[in-house]
Copies of this chain bind each other. A is one copy, B any other.
Amino acid sequence: MLGTRERILTSTGELFRRQGYNGTALKQVTALADAPFGSLYHHFPGGKEELAEAVIKSSGQAYQTLFELIEDAAVDPGSAVTDFFDGAAAVLEQTGYVDACPIGTVALEVASTNDRLRQATAEVFASWVDTAARRLASHGVAPARSIELATLLVAAVEGGFMLSRAARSPEPMRASGRLLRELVESELATVRTVTTTT
């Protein structure tokens, strides 16, 4: 049995994924976490905002770990891309298009309304981009170019979640992954060519 604080965090993350920040009531959170309502304010004295910040940071970290695991398991960066996009598409299908990114919806909701939470989402995105960019750079892609590619990868994942959930189809997510794999592979081919030529 996990601690109450942990259960509140994971329950909030789950609800944020499907309903967003404003759509999630704290009573719903404690009900799902099977915790008394008061314990939420015991563990998060700052209320909904503090809870949300903690959820953004912890689930941002969780996704980053997941991404690293997939990348480590893949034979090359190109297949890591499709592994990740296809994996996200499969999860969407299996969960009735409910189980998406816990950051995305919240990020759009708070971007112009809550600067503390906006900054928390920005740090998560930056960390994801940084992780992906380092991987690309380790395969010889120039640093600035790696950041551009990594940014597009993260943006396309988030957009893929949006389109796939709206259409209730895995295709937008999968199609994005296929094309971005091509882009990454042609980039790596360029690197190899340049390296060989030089």
Residues of chain A touching chain B, judged by Cβ–Cβ distance below 8 Å, are: 18-20, 22-23, 96-98, 100, 104-105, 107-109, 111-113, 118, 121-122, 125-126, 147-149, 151-152, 154-163, 165-168, 171-172, 175-176, 178-180, 182-183, 186
Contacts and interface: CB of A to CB of B under 8 A. Distances in A.
Contacts of A125: 162-163, 166-167
6 contacts: A18-B113, A107-B162, A154-B159, A155-B155, A156-B176, A158-B162
Contact of A180 (B152, B157, B163): B152
A163 B126 CA distance: 9
Contacts of A147: 175
Instruction: Say what secondary structure dominates the interface of chain A.
Output: helix
Contacts of A157: 159
10 tightest A-B CB contacts, nearest first: A155-B159, A22-B22, A159-B159, A111-B165, A105-B108, A158-B159, A18-B112, A122-B166, A148-B175, A22-B23
B108 A162 contact: yes
Contacts of A159: 154-160, 162
A114 to B, nearest CB: 10
A105 to B, nearest CB: 4
Contacts of A165: 107-108, 111-112, 118
